Amino acid sequence: MSMSADTPVPPPEFKGLRPLPQLIFGSRWLQLPLYLGLIVAQGVYVLLFLKELWHLVLGAMKFTEQEIMLVVLGLIDVVMISNLLIMVIVGGYETFVSRMELEKHPDQPEWLSHVNASVLKIKLAMAIIGISSIHLLRTFIYAGSLGREASLSPYTETGVMWQTIIHGLFVLSAIGIAYVERLNHPMSTKHSH
């Protein structure tokens, strides 16, 4: 049995792990059912997207522009959450469980080539901000009917205020994470430009 040039070969002095470190290191595979569950959740989001798209197509002639915009924002929201799921599934598996060896695969995502826990945290924070932005935009579409008849808007002024504050906290958290990562790795940020 010959090994390919790409197969990692342990150094000759490597004698294997002792039983306890081997058990601890092997416990990373307990995350596998979690990632498989997220793949199932991804399938549910595909069904939700198709249902909303069908709803949009059927109502295209009778919906108002605002109703169409709300459905489209819902579709974008589903896509962004789906993107977040892919980042967590692929990036998390690659970072915490096992290498997928996608380096030579033509469809390897660009971001995966330099993924690590730090990069994954920042990308997830940015995805959460994007999802929060879509929710906030949807809320602002209803903002014109605030204070009028309750049936016109599902939001209250207090609810809009809290959504805006929470979105601002997401943005500040992402800036904080990026800043801390830059402090921890000052040389890598200079070489990446």
- Predicted confidence (pLDDT) per residue in 46-97, tens digit: 999 999 999 999 998 998 888 888 889 989 999 999 988 988 898 888 888 8
The residue that leads in pLDDT, 112 or 135, is 135
- Predicted confidence (pLDDT) per residue in 30-43, tens digit: 999 999 999 999 99
pTM exceeds 0.75 = no
3-state secondary structure the chain: CCCCCCCCCCCCCCCCCCHHHHHHHHHHHHHHHHHHHHHHHHHHHHHHHHHHHHHHHHHCCCCCHHHHHHHHHHHHHHHHHHHHHHHHHHHHHHHHHCCCCCCCCCCCCHHHHHCCHHHHHHHHHHHHHHHHHHHHHHHHHHHHHCCCCHHHCCCCHHHHHHHHHHHHHHHHHHHHHHHHHHHHCHHHHHHCC
- Predicted confidence (pLDDT) per residue in 142-165, tens digit: 776 666 655 566 677 788 888 899
The reported pLDDT for the residue numbered 1 is: 46
Helix residue spans in 61-156 (DSSP H): 65-86, 92, 117-142
The reported pLDDT for the residue numbered 193 is: 46
